[in-house]
Structure 1
Amino acid sequence: MTNPFDDMTDDIFADKKVLTESYQPETILERDEEIEEYRYALQDVLFGREPENVMLYGKAGLGKTAVTKYMMSALREEVQEREQADELFIHEINCNGKTVFMVVRQLVNTLLPENASPFPKRGLGTGDAFEELYRQLDRIGGTHLMVFDEIDHLDEVDTLLYELPRARSNGHISEAQVGIIGISNNYTFRKTLSSKVKDTLMETEIAFSPYDATELGTILSDRANQAFAEDTCDQSAIRRAAALAAQDMGNARQAIDLLRVGGEVALRQGANRVTDEHIGEARERVQRGRLKNRISDQTDHAQYVLEAIAYLEQREKTPVRSKEIQDVYEEVASACGADPLTTLKSIQDHLSDLHMLGFLHRYERNQGLSGGQYYEYELNLDPEIVIETRKEIEGPAVDER
């Protein structure tokens, strides 16, 4: 039997990692204005002064994290050349799924001496964690920039954003200086903060707007020159990937994904170059993958509701009322070994949420005095994607429904 990998080649890609999410470019393109705002916000660090707080806003894939990494690297380098600058420490934490206690504990553990025991997970509270953090900051001294990515996902965020900026003025630290850099996908995040936190932060706000097709074309051309072997990627493919991403979300990550998957499609088809046709096929694959991720992110019962509507859709029984959805939902939940939600109101709440998230179409019906008003629902996506995703999550049991 021949080895299944014998005939695999990689003639198109020269450096595929350039098209991955983890790649950090040496030069940031099409974000000159944001970088200019950023550098002025951080200039106090170079002169040994307390740093300003900075908040970055913008949807995912608009360069907030990449620009921040670039700026932190450049700042570290410049601090080495500045006599007035204190020693600089940069702490990067992703806040998704974390509590304030978990974040402060993580900061403490990065600051503790190597031979010290980690700060305990249990038995002490958030106040204890802050006290230990202040002790360690003063022990080390210097300037500390704390970069909180996805800060809008943090529970009790007001506590963190009130405590840290006031640590020095409240006498908690005297030998160290602290600055906060928050990165949020939510443009309205600041509105959710308490008035006392807003007054305390006095931050510089930097908004990242979606890229247009020209800007995405510049970014993709740069990546393509590094990622693909010579003459293996058509300019038309780059233009199409840029245009499709600009029409959708203006998202660089999506545009880069289209280019990478387009290369994979070309390889699979035995082509020696990436064309705009390959990008078209890549779009379907990328959209499918994104939808699967969004479905997987929903709660178990929301997924059961989606799966129920997908079956009704396949049986051509949609648009459909919530009571009929509930009947199929109960079968789906039971088949998954879960106790179904017992009230129609709970199903209607899930339907309302799924509609707001764009998974469902909702139609208002009015049958007058006799029938009253009610809603009917149908999927706003391919039912096969829902069922495929549910199969991946639940396994063979989905086939039995």
Structure 2
Amino acid sequence: MNDPFEGLTSQIFDNKHVLEEDYDPETILEREAEIEAYRNALKDVLFGRSPSNIFIYGKTGVGKTAVTRYMMDALQYQVEKRDEADRLHVLFHNCNNDSAYGTLRAFINTLRSDDAPTFPKKGLSTSDALEEFYSLLDEISGTFLLVLDEIDHLAKVNSLLYEIPRARSNGHLDQAKIGVIGISNNYRFRDSLSPKVKGTLMEKELSFSPYDADELRTILSHRAEKAFVEDAYVQSAIALCAAKAAQDTGSARQALDLLSTGGDIAEDNGDDTVTDDHILAAETRVQRGRVRNKIRDQTPHAQLILEAIAQLEESQETPVRSKTIQSTYEQVATYWGTDPLSSLRSVQDHLSELKMLGFLSRTERNDGRAGGAYYEYELAMDADAVFTARKEIEEESTT
């Protein structure tokens, strides 16, 4: 059998990684105001003071994590040049579908020496994990910044955000200083925190707005120069990617996906230049992938509620009230071996958030004295996309 990859070359891309999500750019474009606000929030670290707690808000793909990594690198560089600054340790953790205990365990295992045993997954409490965590911080000493990406997906987040900011004042830390940087796509995340946590945090808030078409065009042009070989794209294709993404989400990630996928399509077709037609073809492919990724980003219960509404949509029972959704959701959760949420209010909270994130449409009804006012919900996306994403997620969890 002949080698199917024999003679295969890349005639479009020079460095495709520049267009990928995990690429860390050396220069951050179109975020000057956010960088300035971040700088002011972090400056105490340079003078050996306790760091502020900082919360970053904004939609997916608007530069929150990229700017944070950029600022952490710049801060580390400055700290190393200043005698008055303590040694800086930055710990990153993605909280998606994690718990307070799991997050602490990840930090502990990062801080422990290579020859030390790993902190156990089970058998100990969150209090035990906090005790070990504080011990390690004081042993290492210096300033610690805990970057919690997707913090709104962290289970039992109140316990972590109540304890850690008070660690020094409560006598748990003597040598170390600590600050929390939370990154969230949910602008209402703070509202979900308990009053005592809000009083403890005293955080500084930074908001990242969606990019407009001109900003996205600047970012794409800069990346395209590095990603493609010379003359492998037309400028109108760059402008089209920027316009499409700006009209939809204002996400640089979406714009970069469009451009990268357009390059793939051009390469697959044997074309040596990415044109507007390739971008239009890429739009459909990227849209399908974005729906799957958005569903993956939701909490397990939010995913199950979406699947329940998709079932109701398929059987033409939508728009539908929250009580009916709750009943179907309980069946879906049981089918997948998950204990469902026990209260209608919890389901309604998830419905409100899913509506805010664009997964659902909501209509207010009023039946007057007989039935009063209430909401009805239906999917704002294709039900098949929900079923496909959920099937993939469940299959991945069993492998």
Interval of TM-score (by shorter of Structure 1 and Structure 2): 0.7 to 0.9
Please give the alpha-carbon distance, in whole angstroms, between the structure 2 residues aligned to 1:333 and 1:53: 36
Q: Which runs of 5+ in 1 are unaligned?
A: 339-346, 396-401
Q: Which amino acid aligns with 1:180?
A: V
Aligned residues: 387
In the TM superposition, residue 113 of structure 1 has moved relative to its aligned partner by 3.4
Q: Which runs of 5+ in 2 are unaligned?
A: 339-346
Q: Which amino acid aligns with 1:34?
A: E
In the TM superposition, residue 62 of structure 1 has moved relative to its aligned partner by 0.8
**1:82 has 2:108 as partner:** no
In the TM superposition, residue 375 of structure 1 has moved relative to its aligned partner by 10
Please give the alpha-carbon distance, in whole angstroms, between the structure 1 residues aligned to 2:356 and 2:187: 18
Report the equivalent of 1:107.
107
Contact 1:305–1:351 (CA<8 Å) still a contact in 2? no
Cα distance change of structure 1 residues 260 and 203 upon mapping to structure 2, 3 Å threshold: same
Report the equivalent of 2:128.
128
Cα distance change of structure 1 residues 133 and 360 upon mapping to structure 2, 3 Å threshold: closer
Contact 1:318–1:378 (CA<8 Å) still a contact in 2? yes
In the TM superposition, residue 196 of structure 1 has moved relative to its aligned partner by 2.3
Q: Which amino acid aligns with 1:206?
A: L
Cα distance change of structure 1 residues 120 and 11 upon mapping to structure 2, 3 Å threshold: same
Report the equivalent of 2:8.
8
Cα distance change of structure 1 residues 299 and 88 upon mapping to structure 2, 3 Å threshold: closer
Report the equivalent of 1:341.
none
Q: Which amino acid aligns with 1:177?
A: K
Q: Which amino acid aligns with 1:164?
A: I
Report the equivalent of 1:98.
98
Report the equivalent of 2:252.
252
Q: Which amino acid aligns with 1:269?
A: N
Report the equivalent of 2:342.
none
Contact 2:61–2:254 (CA<8 Å) still a contact in 1? yes
Cα distance change of structure 1 residues 65 and 321 upon mapping to structure 2, 3 Å threshold: closer
In the TM superposition, residue 108 of structure 1 has moved relative to its aligned partner by 2.1
Report the equivalent of 2:343.
none
**1:186 has 2:191 as partner:** no
In the TM superposition, residue 170 of structure 1 has moved relative to its aligned partner by 1.4
**3-state DSSP of counterpart to 2:92:** strand
**3-state DSSP of counterpart to 2:89:** strand
Cα distance change of structure 1 residues 276 and 39 upon mapping to structure 2, 3 Å threshold: same
Deviates more, 1:137-146 or 1:350-359: 350-359
In the TM superposition, residue 355 of structure 1 has moved relative to its aligned partner by 7.4
Contact 2:146–2:178 (CA<8 Å) still a contact in 1? yes
How does 1:261-340 map onto structure 2 within 5 Å?
A: 261-294=261-294, 305=308, 308=311
TM-score by length of 1: 0.81
Please give the alpha-carbon distance, in whole angstroms, between the structure 2 residues aligned to 1:334 and 1:156: 23
TM-score by length of 2: 0.81
**3-state DSSP of counterpart to 2:277:** helix
Report the equivalent of 1:151.
151
Q: Which amino acid aligns with 1:277?
A: D
Please give the alpha-carbon distance, in whole angstroms, between the structure 2 residues aligned to 1:359 and 1:199: 32
Once the two structures are superposed, residues 211-263 of structure 1 have per-residue CA deviations (whole angstroms, 9 ceiling, x without a partner) of 00000000000110110111111110000000000000100100100000010
Q: Which amino acid aligns with 1:225?
A: E
**3-state DSSP of counterpart to 1:17:** helix
**3-state DSSP of counterpart to 1:145:** strand
Q: Which amino acid aligns with 2:66?
A: A
Cα distance change of structure 1 residues 354 and 146 upon mapping to structure 2, 3 Å threshold: closer
**3-state DSSP of counterpart to 1:164:** helix
Q: Say which one has the larger Rg.
A: 1
Deviates more, 1:116-125 or 1:301-310: 301-310
Cα distance change of structure 1 residues 108 and 260 upon mapping to structure 2, 3 Å threshold: same
Report the equivalent of 1:202.
202
Contact 1:304–1:333 (CA<8 Å) still a contact in 2? no
**1:214 has 2:208 as partner:** no
In the TM superposition, residue 101 of structure 1 has moved relative to its aligned partner by 1.4
Once the two structures are superposed, residues 321-362 of structure 1 have per-residue CA deviations (whole angstroms, 9 ceiling, x without a partner) of 99xx9xx99xx9999999xxxxxxxx9999999878756668
In the TM superposition, residue 20 of structure 1 has moved relative to its aligned partner by 0.6
Report the equivalent of 1:173.
173
**3-state DSSP of counterpart to 1:165:** helix
Once the two structures are superposed, residues 101-141 of structure 1 have per-residue CA deviations (whole angstroms, 9 ceiling, x without a partner) of 11122222222333332223223211121111111111111
Superposition RMSD in Å: 4.1
Contact 1:310–1:384 (CA<8 Å) still a contact in 2? no
Please give the alpha-carbon distance, in whole angstroms, between the structure 1 residues aligned to 2:94 and 2:152: 10
Deviates more, 1:197-206 or 1:108-117: 108-117
Once the two structures are superposed, residues 35-55 of structure 1 have per-residue CA deviations (whole angstroms, 9 ceiling, x without a partner) of 111111111111111111111
Q: Which amino acid aligns with 2:127?
A: G
Please give the alpha-carbon distance, in whole angstroms, between the structure 2 residues aligned to 1:6 and 1:49: 60
Please give the alpha-carbon distance, in whole angstroms, between the structure 2 residues aligned to 1:288 and 1:133: 42
**3-state DSSP of counterpart to 1:232:** coil
Please give the alpha-carbon distance, in whole angstroms, between the structure 1 residues aligned to 2:53 and 2:320: 51
Cα distance change of structure 1 residues 90 and 354 upon mapping to structure 2, 3 Å threshold: closer
How does 1:341-360 map onto structure 2 within 5 Å?
A: none
Contact 2:143–2:176 (CA<8 Å) still a contact in 1? yes
Report the equivalent of 2:243.
243
